[in-house]
Amino acid sequence: MKHITLNVDDLGLSPAVNQAVCRLAALGRVHAASFMSLGRIAPDELAALRQAGIDIGLHFDLTGLARQGTLGQVMARSWLRAWPAAALQETIARQMDAFEDQIGQPPAFIDGHQHVHQFPQVRERLLAEARRRYGPPVALRSTRPLLADAKSRLIHALGGRWVDRHCMHWRQNACLGGVYAFDGDAAALARRWQTWLAAAPAQGALIMCHPAVPDAGWQDEIRPAREREWHWLASDAFAELWRQHGCRGQAWGEMPNTIN
């Protein structure tokens, strides 16, 4: 039996994403969702996710709805430690406040849009504020790679090793899958999932995904990939692949307190 957490990123980004999360949660296909708290979730959507029993965490954001710059600009500011301390603290507090206001409870876990939660200067203040508000029950996404592909290794190199060393006593996922360039067709996506599920260790893995239901009323640079993911995750073929690999959904609270 493989214990796997399917975690949808970008809840709150658009109604198309929110509806994908709700429908997949109702099908039992996903187990957690990362909420961009500067976005919106409707009361009926939140009620549906609660009924499905999935974990909701804070998807801390600097490059998307927070509009603090491009990924390259945010990276440069972080590695130069050039964030104004007060402004960064205000951004962190505002997103945590917004999460609590909309979800009505603390986040079950914390991660980052484009993995900014592990960037220098950001991570220290983000984790300090999380510890002050929530204490040890809150969990943290590790980017330790499930596969040794170049993009997974790069993501982990951009702060993941610091998290491995300094956050040993936070509850974390053992490894992270779902990393790809949002390219390819439906057949390529199915092959990727076959690879991720085959590689997942029995003790647990987190696989991130980014689905959205088809909706011509919004624009997003990876919208075609989001819609492909939606169709795949909702399909009988995905359910059969999950069964073939002996997978069981795992909540964040079932993960160990350390990845080491």
Does the pLDDT of residue 112 top 90, yes or no?
A: yes
**For residue range 234-256, what is the model confidence (pLDDT) as tens digits?**
999 999 999 999 999 999 988 87
Residue 16 CA to residue 225 CA, distance in Å, equals 13
As given in the structure block, the two tokens for residue 233 are 């995750």
Residue 215 CA to residue 219 CA, distance in Å, equals 9
Strands (E), 54-96: 55-60
Domain coverage including residue 175: 2-254
**For residue range 179-202, what is the model confidence (pLDDT) as tens digits?**
999 999 999 999 999 999 999 998
Indicate which CATH number applies to the domain containing 226.
3.20.20.370
**For residue range 175-184, what is the model confidence (pLDDT) as tens digits?**
999 999 999 9
pLDDT bucket at 260, cuts 50 / 70 / 90: very low
β-pairing, 55-60 vs 2-11, is: unpaired
Number of domains present in the structure of the chain: 1
Report DSSP letters for 140-179, one per residue. Answer: E----BSS--HHHHHHIIIIIHHHHHH-TTSEE-S-EE--
Determine, yes or no, domain membership for 122. yes
Residue 136 CA to residue 158 CA, distance in Å, equals 24
Amino acid at the residue 33: A
Does the pLDDT of residue 258 top 60, yes or no?
A: no
Determine, yes or no, domain membership for 106. yes
pTM to 2 decimal places: 0.96
Determine, yes or no, domain membership for 76. yes
Contact in structure between 134 and 249 (CB atoms under 8 Å): no
Determine, yes or no, domain membership for 232. yes
